[in-house]
Amino acid sequence: MFDIAFDNVNEIIDMNGHGIYVWSVYSIAISIIIVSFIVAKNRIKGVKRKIKIKNAPS
């Protein structure tokens, strides 16, 4: 169960011609998830900044 299914890196990339489908799907999905986290983190920072500015002593 824990033997690697490929003999070398080229086989991993190519996956018998299916690599283009497999790797493109994973890369795009991972990118979308990472961007979602960055956007969510930035939103929190933005909201906190706005609240601080609004309530800053003049």
Burial per residue of 30-57, b for 16 or more beta-carbon CB atoms within 10 angstroms, e otherwise = eeeeeeeeeeeeeeeeeeeeeeeeeeee
Min CB(54)–another protein separation in Å? 7
Q: Which residue has the tokens 């969510």?
A: 40
Structure tokens of 8?
């070398």
Site string for another protein, 28-57 (x = CB under 8 A): xx--xx--xx--xx-xx-xxx-xxx-xx--
**Site of interaction with another protein (CB under 8 A):** 1-6, 12, 15-19, 21-22, 24-26, 28-29, 32-33, 36-37, 40-41, 43-44, 46-48, 50-52, 54-55
